[in-house]
Every structure is written in C-alpha cells, then in structure tokens.
C-alpha cells in the first residue's frame, strides 16, 4: 500500500473519531457552564486535571512510546504479546504506586494546587483518575497497533458521551465541584474494561518478560522528562492563573482551552495514525523526505484552520457562553494553535526517537517550557487569560523552531522556502488580527480567506497531486 495513502486514510478515519469526540464537549461545555453557579467551579474541576496529568505522566514514564517502538521491531506475534504484557503489568504497578503517593500527599497537594486544605477530596478523586488515565492508554494500545480503526471510532464516540451524561446528572444534583472529575473516572473505567476484553489476548501474566524491561526502560526513561515538560506546558498556566488572579480566571481559561481544543480534531487524527505510520516506515530510504512533507502539509492545514478560529472566536463565545466567560475569546485562538504546534513538533521530534536519541527533545522542550513559564509570570498580571494562552503558544513555537533548525543541520529534516513564507504569513495575520482586525469580524474573515489563498498558491502543485489521487512517497 502506498505509505502516504495509508497515513492519509488513518488521518481521516481517526479524524472522524476525533471529530465526534470533540463535538460532544463543544455541545456540552456551554451547558455545563450554565449549570454551574460561576466560573470558579469550572476552574476547580480543571485544576484537578493538572494533578491527573502530572501523575499519569509520572506513572507511564514513556512506556507507551517504548512499547510502540519495540512492538514493530519483530514481526512475531509471540514477541509482540510479550512486549504488550510486560508493558501493561509494569504500568499497572507504577500507576498504583503513583496513585497511592498522591493520596498520601493529599493535604499538601490540596494547598499547593487549590490554595486550601478544603479540597482534599478533589485530590483523592485525582488519585483515582490518575490510575485510570495512566493505564487506559496502555490497555487500548494493541487496538491502535493493529490499526483497528472502526473500534477506535466507536469507543472514541462512546467515551465523551458517557462522561458528559454522567456530569450533567451530577450537576443537576448540585455536585458542582466533583461532577466532571467523577464522570471522567467512571467513563474511563468503563472504556478500560471494554478494551481489556477486546485486547485480552495481548495481555497475559505468563507472557511477562522481566528481561524486556531493560530495553523498554532504555527507550522510555529518557522520554519521562519530555512528558513532565508537556505537563508544564499544559498546567503551569492554570496554576499561575490561580495564584496570580484566582480560580474564576482559571475557569474562564479552561473554557477557552475547551473551545480551543477543537483543533484536537486535527491532532487526534494525526496521533491516531501517526505512530503506526512512523514506526512501520522508519526503515524506508526516503523516510526523511516523507516526514518533512507530512510536517509541511499538517502545518498548512493547521494554519488554514487557525486563521478562521481567530476570525470567529468572539461571535462563537458570545453565542455559546455566559457573559462572564466572554473575555475568553482572546485566549481561545492561541489555545487552538498550540496543540497543532505540538503536533508539528511530534512529527519532527520523532526523528530523534527513530535514531534512539531522545535527549535532544528533552533539551529543546525544556527551552520552550522555560519560555512558557517566564511569559506566564510576565504576561498574566497585565493580560490575564490572553497572556497565559500567548505564553503557551510562544513556548511551543520556540520548541518547533529550535527542533527544525537542529534536525535540518543533522540532515534529518528538510524545510522548504514556501513553508517559511507560509509561516511568516501566519505570524503576520495573528499580529494584524490582534491590533487591527479584532473589532471587525467581517474583515477578519476576509483576511482569513486571503491567507488561505496564499497557502493554496504556495502549495498548488501538492494540491494537484492530492486531487489526482496519485501522491507518492
């Protein structure tokens, strides 16, 4: 099968699943915000997720990616079952240890994250959610590694529907703070049980091989700092907003992030098909060229979607959310683009993983995280939620730029002049929108179409290949 065709098929199938999973929050978040007394409640729920994301990263410690890497080393079902079994049982143990640790430290964590011991129960819920979150990805991994896209589509639809249905029920009962965390845990457990049943042949205590832990951990442990850095990107803005302004601002920011996460339609599509594609083609002669082309195509797709997000952010916020949340429209476009920059970073950063050198990604992401933290501290007091969003976007942008430069010098990536031009156009649009076009939705939309026209002109030959259905690696 044509490799690029395979990636595109996976991209759109997983994209459909992602679209459904993101449409549900898009519909439900406006309902949820109206069922809560004020934005601080949404902020508290969102803050609990910072504990979960940190704990999950610590528990998984890169084993998910390591499992993928080893799984495709041999086309041997027994070997692959041993890799999966070893990974899942190690992760179960690690997740248990981390979850217990969160429970033991519930009082200081409550003070650190929420600013008070009054929310110890939220920390306890976060401990349970950490265990579920850490193990869920590993349990469902064989489904993706076998490229069973239909199962993914069904489960990706069912999970958010179940979660928000439970959340709405709990909110109607007056459980404003715990509604979202409890619903997330229960839906996560349900999905995990289903995937365990579907993938049970890949997991067996008899297939656990202690000797596989060394090669798995050799790949995984250097990735752990990367995941913790991702946590800084995702969570430090929430924590700093809470400390510098308050939980109400955190709630508004969280809603902006939810709307911004519509970009996860693209990101989820990419992630669903990328790991299978990347590791199954890592030995191809033209791998560098292919990787570079995908980077550029995803970049142009991301830029095209982002310009319209900037243009439509204010009317969407005015229509969907209470007036209290309206200022969030300034942050949403930046938070829409940020995950897409992360996607682009993962495309090119994968080159280090393929050559088994994971330390450069840690250093590069560390630089971006430092930029993020510094800008949060500087911008939040003056710009509020917009400052936090801009800091996150800037951190990812710095990481992508540095990684691109390094890989180009190592001859592991090629960046064309037309992509540099497209990136410049994207930056110019953002500046123009913020200082000139923000007061006019009509002119913002006109500028968005103009940007897309420029992108199409730059990539007219590539578009021709796609329309003809004859793109080749």
Average pLDDT of every residue of the chain: 84
- Is the distance from CB of 271 to CB of 394 less than 8 angstroms? no
Confidence of residue 265 (pLDDT cuts 50, 70, 90): low
Taking only the tens place, the pLDDT of each residue in 63-90 is 877 887 777 777 777 888 888 888 888 8
Q: What is the pLDDT of residues 358-381, one digit of tens each?
A: 678 788 988 999 999 999 999 999
Residue 98 to residue 84: CA distance in whole angstroms: 21
The tokens describing 266, both together, are 């693209």
Q: Say what the pLDDT of residue 6 is.
A: 56
The pLDDT value recorded for residue 7 is 57
pLDDT at 472 > cutoff 50: no
| Confidence label for 273 from pLDDT (cuts 50, 70 and 90) | low
In the chain, % of residues over pLDDT 90: 37
Tens of pLDDT, residues 124-172? 999 999 999 888 878 877 776 666 666 766 776 788 888 889 999 999 9
C-alpha–C-alpha distance, residues 284 and 363, integer Å: 28
Name the more confident of 265 and 182: 182
Which pLDDT belongs to residue 281?
A: 58
Mean pLDDT (whole number) for 16-23: 60
Asked whether the predicted pLDDT for residue 402 surpasses 90, the reply is yes
| Token digits of residue 272 | 């669903």
Give the whole-angstrom CA distance, residue 171 versus residue 161: 15
CB 65 within 8 A of CB 21: no
pLDDT at 453: 95
Find, among 292, 266, 263, 270, the residue nearest to 418 by Cα: 292
């Amino acid at each position: 099968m044509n490799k690029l065709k395979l990636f595109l098929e996976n991209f759109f199938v997983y994209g459909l699943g992602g679209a459904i999973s993101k449409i549900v929050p898009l519909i439900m978040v406006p309902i949820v915000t109206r069922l809560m007394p004020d934005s601080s409640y949404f902020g508290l729920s969102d803050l609990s997720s910072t504990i979960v994301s940190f704990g999950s990263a610590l528990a998984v410690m890169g084993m998910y990616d390591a499992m993928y890497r080893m799984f495709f080393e041999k086309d041997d079902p027994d070997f692959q079952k041993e890799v999966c079994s070893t990974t899942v049982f190690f992760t179960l143990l690690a997740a248990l240890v981390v979850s217990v640790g969160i429970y033991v430290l519930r009082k200081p964590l409550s003070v650190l994250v929420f600013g008070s011991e009054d929310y110890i129960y939220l920390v306890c819920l976060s401990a349970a959610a950490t265990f579920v979150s850490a193990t869920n990805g590993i349990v469902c991994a064989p489904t993706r590694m076998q490229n069973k896209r239909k199962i993914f589509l069904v489960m990706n639809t069912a999970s958010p529907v179940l979660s928000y249905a439970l959340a709405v029920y709990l909110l109607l009962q007056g459980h404003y703070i715990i509604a979202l965390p409890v619903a997330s845990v229960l839906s996560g457990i349900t999905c995990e049980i289903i995937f365990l049943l579907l993938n049970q042949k890949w997991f067996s205590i008899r297939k656990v091989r202690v000797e596989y832990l060394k090669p798995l951990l050799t790949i995984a442990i250097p990735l752990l700092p990367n995941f913790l850095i991702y946590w800084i990107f995702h969570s430090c803005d929430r924590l700093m907003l809470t400390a510098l302004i308050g939980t109400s601002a955190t709630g508004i920011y969280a809603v902006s992030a939810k709307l911004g996460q519509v970009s996860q339609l693209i990101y989820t599509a990419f992630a669903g098909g990328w790991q299978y594609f990347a590791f199954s083609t890592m030995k191809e002669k033209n791998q560098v060229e292919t990787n570079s082309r995908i980077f550029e195509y995803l970049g142009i797709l991301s830029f095209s979607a982002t310009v319209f997000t900037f243009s439509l952010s204010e009317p969407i916020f005015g229509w969907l959310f209470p007036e209290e949340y309206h200022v969030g429209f300034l942050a949403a476009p930046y938070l829409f683009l940020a995950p897409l920059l992360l996607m682009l970073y993962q495309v090119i950063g994968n080159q280090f993983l393929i050559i088994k050198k994971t330390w450069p990604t840690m250093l590069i992401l560390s630089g971006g995280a430092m930029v993020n933290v510094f800008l949060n501290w500087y911008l939040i007091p003056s710009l509020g939620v917009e400052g936090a969003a801009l800091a996150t976007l800037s951190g990812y942008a710095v990481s992508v730029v540095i990684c691109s430069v390094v890989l180009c010098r190592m001859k592991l990536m090629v960046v064309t002049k037309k992509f540099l031009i497209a990136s410049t156009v994207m930056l110019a649009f953002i500046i123009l929108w913020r200082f000139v076009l923000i007061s006019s939705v009509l002119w913002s939309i006109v500028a968005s179409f103009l940007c897309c026209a420029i992108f199409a002109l730059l990539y007219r030959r590539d578009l021709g290949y796609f329309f003809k259905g004859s793109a080749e690696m």
